[in-house]
Structure 1
Amino acid sequence: MLTAIVGTNWGDEGKGRMVDLLSENYDIVVRYQGGNNAGHTVVNDKGKFILNLLPSGILRDDTVNVLGAGIVIDLEHLFNETARLRAGGIAISPANLKISDRATICMPYHKLLDGLEEDRLGDKKFGSTRRGISPVYSDKFMKKALRMGDLKNLDHLRGRIADIIEWKNLTVAGGYGHEPIDVDEIMAWLEKYGKPFADYVCDTTVYLTDAVKAGKSVMFEAQLGALRDIDFGIYPYTSASTTLAAYAPIGSGVPQLKLDESIGIMKAYSSCVGEGPFTCELFGDEAHALREAGGEYGAATGRPRRVGGFDVVASRYGAMMQGCTCIALTKLDVMSYMDKIPVCVAYELDGKRIENFPGNIEELERAKPIYEYVEGFKCDISGCRKPEDLPKAALDYVKFIEKAVGCPIKYVSVSAEREGCIELF
């Protein structure tokens, strides 16, 4: 079985907790795109963990985890993240973590450039996490990036790195007026944070191909959501990578494989970190109440998330782009405090009702939400463990969303713990 776990919206839908839950049935979990701008929060019997780079399957003892060819890796962050998890009792070794030799290294100067450009943009900023993701993907396509396989021969890299830094300093020093990047400092950084992972680097294409031939099951874990996809998201307020399920085999290094299943993750309401149009956004006291009830602060950045009612238009589009075979609806319990639950069922654009998600950013910025209200359930459902435990009003809300989005909802989560996810069919 080859399954992708993907976000249908703006990211932060709860993918990590679903991977942690469902990975029990999979031999391998692969991260295939993005970098440490992910923030996957998982609560299980071992504690609470926030994962930025590592696949969520790392929390299971018998699961092999892979960082695929399409990912970008900040070695310093990976070094610190693995140390933090080990301190929490999680075993990490080349036996359960394999890193593609084709994965791209996110260098210190990528983070520097990310921050310098956001500062230059000021009020026009894109809302970057300042973790170097866009600059490193840019270098990848400019063919001026380093890959994890290069760590095996650091002594021969100095000349190549010197050439790259000479080019980078044209922008860093010449354009932004910042202190130039130093070659010796970069080499020391690679030595300190790269060498510890040399034994983890391998040809994951061969590993995954052989594993699938041997009958192993693979789960592909996405970062961010469909609306942050570089091609089909709310461009230019997107990530720099392809966040769609269709890219999972490619970004994992096994483009010859075909997915069996795409599980789309969406919240029972909407949330968004970063800039860009967010049509269903709520404001004032209404937004504050929802943000506090849902704990809506970015796991990777700590930034308060923008929040809104469930957005049918965006979610239906996201589920379509992800090719979802079923949906996992997370954080249903958050809606417990509401007498009436707001649902954005359509948009108004230039005086007309529209139900298809606009591809043009200017149209999306002009769109206004059309809200309907669904009866609330006004009770604590965090202890529910079976479909029949849920109040009728809660099930009615789930069915309303299912019909509106046009995709079956198979899972509903009512608390952060593993056992707080209810399978409906």
Structure 2
Amino acid sequence: MIDLLAEKYDIVVRYQGGSNAGHTVVNKFGKFALNLIPSGIFQEHAVNILGNGTVIDLEHLCGEMQKLRDRGIKITPDNFKISNRAIIVFPFHKEQDALEEDRLAGAAYGSTKRGIAPVYSDKYQKKGIQMGDLLLPETFQKHLETVLEWKNLYLKGVYNAETHSVAELTAWAEKFGGPLLPYICDTSDYLYHASKAGKNVLFEAQLGALRDIDFGIYPFTSSSSPLASYAPVGSGAPFLKVDRVLGVIKAFSTCVGEGPFVAEWFGEQAEELRKIGGEYGAATGRPRRVGPIDIPATRYGIRMQGATEAAITKIDNLSYLKEIPICSAYEIDGKVTADFPYTPLLDHAKPVTTTMPGWGTDISGVRKYGDLPKAARDYIEYVEKAIECPVTYVSVGPERDDIIIR
């Protein structure tokens, strides 16, 4: 979906998150798993931006850029820009992430161990180091010395872990930050002038509404906000107004990481759907948890995103089912509710399941809505009504052309 949409936009901006998730893109160049770089990188005309709301692992980004270049994708300062206000993810952030998950043991949050929670924590404690500091070596050195003194006390005192030296991390920053220097700039200023020139901007989120730090299944969330309303702030363009929000939902439910998942399937039933859907994390390769579409959670996500339209993807993966199960409501302590509850109550929730007839035929070649089997159209229209949002796209395969536009 993001690859399809990017074709029509001048600028694509990632506005939150880091290398902990991303988008799997299949197009004429092949199959790619993007973690940090915006999906517009495959469009020759598009400018791609990592906004101030993102957190950037210099080493990971350099590696991702090289993998794309190795496959013929052009990346230059003209088509890729990094906000000077984005925060750097250091090796100690990833170490701290792993140490905390180990400490939590059975109560772990299911972190990707990419350092995301520690680096956002540092940002809001005003102990983060911004990308722009790499352009000012003396400033960078001063900030690093101050931050590292504090961080070493934390690593040693809390986890009895090894500490780091300024020289070690300076060398790391020079090795992986040096190649990025031409890309670092005031992206807010760039977006301001681009908007004045009438350029179209696509904000690309990472993760979904239930992983939002404020409105997700806290504390089993990410540490940033993937909500559309945060996009202008996280991109450096609070002067822009989001006038179209496309909520992308799968025809069934998936989840990477820990936390409540009311509609979850287990065993052979889950493994069959997981294999058919290729449900493994784009960042980690971890098998995703799967289940039928969860209407209370999906409706809530659509609402919190302020979605003006929705896309249903992977509906072709349900073709093997004789009956299509739907989690239409929850039962919590004997009461049935269609609303998505406060997170701790999810631990007491049981799915209320209804079924619809399956269509039992391959639909991956269908390109017109009217050519879909009636059972498939009935399913789409049921979901559309239940989530209270028009479905404008239906995806029947992983490639850009595997799409039905309603």
Q: TM-score, normalised by structure 2?
A: 0.99
Aligned mates of 2:274, 2:122 — CA distance in 1? 37
Alpha-carbon offset, residue 196 of structure 1: 0.8
Alpha-carbon offset, residue 384 of structure 1: 1.0
2:73 aligns with one of 86, 90, 111: 90
1:393 aligns with one of 371, 375, 378: 375
Residue 58 (structure 1) aligned with residue 58 (structure 2): no
1:57-83 Cα distance to aligned partner (Å, 9 max, x none): 011111100101100000000000000
1:167 aligns with one of 146, 150, 175: 150
Q: Which residue of 2 aligns with 1:38?
A: 21
The answer to which of 109-118 and 177-186 deviates more is 177-186
Residue 358 of structure 1 aligns to a residue whose secondary structure is coil
Check the 8 A contact 2:15/2:50 in 1, yes or no. Answer: yes
Residue 135 of structure 2 aligns to a residue whose secondary structure is helix
Residue 368 (structure 1) aligned with residue 368 (structure 2): no
Equivalent runs, 1:20-419 vs 2, <5 Å: 20-359=3-342, 361-419=343-401
Residue 173 of structure 1 aligns to a residue whose secondary structure is helix
Alpha-carbon offset, residue 19 of structure 1: 1.4
Aligned mates of 2:143, 2:283 — CA distance in 1? 32
1:83-103 Cα distance to aligned partner (Å, 9 max, x none): 000001100000000111111
Letter in 2 for 1:239: S
Alpha-carbon offset, residue 148 of structure 1: 0.8
Aligned mates of 1:42, 1:153 — CA distance in 2? 36
1:320-347 Cα distance to aligned partner (Å, 9 max, x none): 0000100010000000000001100000
1:345-385 Cα distance to aligned partner (Å, 9 max, x none): 000000000111012x2211111100000110111111111
Check the 8 A contact 2:21/2:281 in 1, yes or no. Answer: no
Structure with bigger RCO (C-alpha 8 Å, 6+ apart): 1
Alpha-carbon offset, residue 406 of structure 1: 0.7
Aligned mates of 2:162, 2:317 — CA distance in 1? 47
Provide structure 1 residue ranges, at least 5 long, that are not aligned to the other structure: 1-17
Check the 8 A contact 2:310/2:390 in 1, yes or no. Answer: yes
Residue 337 of structure 1 aligns to a residue whose secondary structure is coil
Aligned mates of 2:372, 2:192 — CA distance in 1? 42
The answer to which of 288-297 and 216-225 deviates more is 288-297
Letter in 2 for 1:358: P
Aligned mates of 2:172, 2:161 — CA distance in 1? 19
Aligned mates of 1:404, 1:52 — CA distance in 2? 32
Residue 317 of structure 2 aligns to a residue whose secondary structure is helix
Alpha-carbon offset, residue 296 of structure 1: 0.8
Check the 8 A contact 2:129/2:143 in 1, yes or no. Answer: no
Alpha-carbon offset, residue 257 of structure 1: 1.5
Provide structure 2 residue ranges, at least 5 long, that are not aligned to the other structure: none
Residue 261 of structure 1 aligns to a residue whose secondary structure is coil
Label 1:129 to 1:258 Cα distance change in 2 as closer, same or farther (>3 A).
same
Aligned mates of 1:81, 1:338 — CA distance in 2? 38
Aligned mates of 1:65, 1:393 — CA distance in 2? 40
Letter in 2 for 1:381: I
Aligned mates of 2:325, 2:276 — CA distance in 1? 15
Letter in 1 for 2:346: L
Alpha-carbon offset, residue 242 of structure 1: 0.8
Alpha-carbon offset, residue 221 of structure 1: 0.1
Alpha-carbon offset, residue 156 of structure 1: 3.8
Aligned mates of 2:183, 2:198 — CA distance in 1? 23
Q: Say how many residue pairs are matched.
A: 406
Residue 346 of structure 1 aligns to a residue whose secondary structure is strand
Alpha-carbon offset, residue 192 of structure 1: 0.4
Alpha-carbon offset, residue 198 of structure 1: 0.8
Aligned mates of 1:251, 1:163 — CA distance in 2? 26
Aligned mates of 1:83, 1:355 — CA distance in 2? 47
Check the 8 A contact 2:220/2:258 in 1, yes or no. Answer: yes
Q: TM-score, normalised by structure 1?
A: 0.94
Alpha-carbon offset, residue 24 of structure 1: 1.1
